[in-house]
A and B are shown apart, each in its own frame.
Chain A
């Protein structure tokens, strides 16, 4: 009668697991993946598959031969890193560059800190930013959405890059005195390139694989909220900050600054706010901390986009706030009883 299990309370568990959360995030990424396949065709599937496979392989090799642990590649976290890395790449990227990105993401971003749960920076973003700095040409060549059409890919810039370049050329033209067209306002630039809000919402524009279809990303957000995988605080804090900040700029000078909707639906803002900034490991633990973190990401993103030299600022903003997360955790304690 003494083969009874002895253990401390509690004796029940709610059945949640690391896998359920990780695969839940992957399910939430499915709508965006479908959109990227519709817009970018086979290339989207190939880039994503290579990225995921490379992440899994590198994680396995590092765990098995460098860290001498039992590989835990099927916990879902490496797959998420692979998908998110792919979602941050243009479809035309050479596949060997994808593999390098995966190696940096998993090797440097994750495993060098001790694996899942110990990394400070979002691994997929570490990979992405490494590639952006190392391979700037390949990383900013954006084929416009062609679906499965077999015609030669037409490359174009992302809406953010278009606006940034046009605004910059306003400045140089004014300086050189060449005023053939005259300075263009943001709305004129967008109209000239045929960029409309519905296009941005559905993702019909140049950009990385997973960032183009805002509506698909929002569906994923709703799913994760419903499953209680994440809370609403971080994405909402980012959205609100970007809306308020760009709204003020836009009201102050509509010629020079694009409106909130443009900023909300372009670049990696949706993808970053919903899927990258909410990464458990690298984001704060309390709701108050989540607000500070989200506001920080929002402010930094707009600052980089509007005043910095890069057209897109989401990746840098998230990485910077990842670095501040331990400090935020230290300052923001949960509400006391």
Chain B
């Protein structure tokens, strides 16, 4: 039998402007997902999503089971929070999370591993077609699922397009363009079938007939596996993508897969696309087929000096120090701990911060990789302009941000910036382009909101 050649050698799809190619450093790509032992205590922030924090439904001293609701979504854009362990609530306090802000969190002392009775150990013997659209969306909302690629936008909202908009294509984001991170890669390799079920469930929820799984071409094993699995499902296909950062940016991925550009300030649904990360798709599968809330996720622990870079399935609320321990401990010359990847991740102050729904990785950087050199005059080389995937002029946006020229920043489309960091990554003068652009973007956003409020 002649095997149908995969699209490796043809010209791969990609986004059209800008982008960079940082060293991939996927150190943990071959490390299978292992289950992290339960910690003694978990810290579960009530705000692990974009939108209003959840309202606690437990109090100090309560006994909880794994999978039990402990925070009720507060409003349309919000998400339920569940206990990831069984034990006793020892307090509801403000605890610093990866963002550096203190947020109300439920602290639970772990006792045993008892699960809520409704959570099934094995998936229901049903087909995706046996569930109705409403059932699926309801299960997703109940399970507190949010975008697990890092944006943490409540998934049920994304699956309920505003009136007048119709989704045409589900795009599954298996790109994982951040260097070092391999959590999505391993998930695709080890849970391909469950993912395909999840894809079908979301297709049903969105009422679309087409789904495309976008995967960067540095994960050939995942492309091969999912292509084989997708061949049996009508409407589902796998699209290998050029290895180019930020291929996994929502707008970039839509452009690469469909050729359509999401307009400035618009949502993907404007071009008929809904993008879901593979981690989210897996969570949807578990929520619908196993009635299991989002209480655990795969986290990559990695870094050049880490003894055993690996991928761990861990409960939400686990301190990242436990993950570091499992990967062989904190290397002596660690200079920086990053929650997420090196391009968009956040440096954290301590290793006691907890894993949340959006934590894709823990990256330990050596002391000599941790500090930036002093920055110099802009030499106007235009490398940042070539690198920007949104067609902006980072050197100019930085200057305007420094000068506080908010109106001009708005005209120069600063709000289009996706904060991918390609500009700062590229700048030969080591200028803190994105740092200042973020500041300018923040101020411009405030100005726009103030103007809207005034006009209402």
Contact = CB atoms under 8 A, between A and B. Distances in A.
B345 A11 contact: yes
A173 to B, nearest CB: 50
A14 interface: yes
A117 interface: yes
A8 B391 contact: no
Contacts of B427: 13, 16
Contacts of A191: none
Interface in B297-356: 334-338, 340, 342-351
A118 interface: yes
Nearest to A116: B377
14 contacts: A4-B336, A6-B347, A8-B434, A9-B340, A9-B345, A10-B344, A12-B23, A16-B427, A17-B428, A18-B376, A18-B379, A282-B380, A337-B261, A337-B389
Contacts of B381: 21, 280
Residue among B365, B377, B389, B413 with max Cβ neighbours from chain A (10 Å): B377
A336 interface: yes
Nearest to A117: B377
B383 interface: yes
Nearest to A230: B381
Contacts of B422: 10
B189 to A, nearest CB: 25
Interface string A1-38: 11011111111111011101100000000000000000
A334 B428 CA distance: 20
Contact of A334 (B363, B376, B388): B388
Interface string B279-306: 0000000000000000000000000000
Contact of A10 (B335, B343, B379, B428): B343
B385 A334 contact: yes
Given A4-B336, A13-B372, A281 B390 contact: no
A209 B377 CA distance: 31
A116 B427 CA distance: 15
B362 to A, nearest CB: 12
A333 interface: yes
Given A280-B379, A285-B393, A333-B393, A14 B335 contact: no
Interface in B356-393: 363, 365, 369-372, 376-383, 385-386, 388-393
B318 to A, nearest CB: 17
Name the interface size band of chain A. 35 or more
B144 to A, nearest CB: 26
A101 interface: no
B365 A11 contact: yes
A112 interface: no
A286 interface: yes
A1 B430 CA distance: 28
Given A5-B335, A9-B343, A9-B345, A14 B372 contact: no
B350 A336 contact: no
B377 A12 contact: no
Contact of A1 (B343, B351, B377): B351
A77 B377 CA distance: 12
Interface string A89-115: 000000000000000000000000001
Contact of A337 (B17, B20, B432): B17
Nearest to A284: B382
B429 interface: yes
Given A10-B343, A14-B20, A14-B22, A4 B337 contact: yes
Residue among B340, B416, B427 with max Cβ neighbours from chain A (10 Å): B427
Contacts of B365: 11
B342 A2 contact: no
A16 B349 contact: no
A114 B336 CA distance: 36
B272 interface: no
Contacts of A12: 22-23, 179, 342-343, 369, 425
A337 B416 contact: yes
A335 B393 CA distance: 10
Contacts of B421: 9-10
A21 B425 CA distance: 16
A8 B438 CA distance: 10
Contacts of B337: 4
B435 A8 contact: yes
B424 interface: yes
B335 A335 contact: no
Interface in B20-38: 20, 22-23
Top 10 closest A-B pairs, CB basis? A10-B421, A117-B377, A285-B382, A280-B381, A16-B428, A5-B370, A12-B342, A5-B336, A11-B342, A336-B391
A303 to B, nearest CB: 27
A118 B380 CA distance: 9
A333 B335 CA distance: 39
B339 to A, nearest CB: 10
Nearest to A17: B428
Contacts of A72: 376
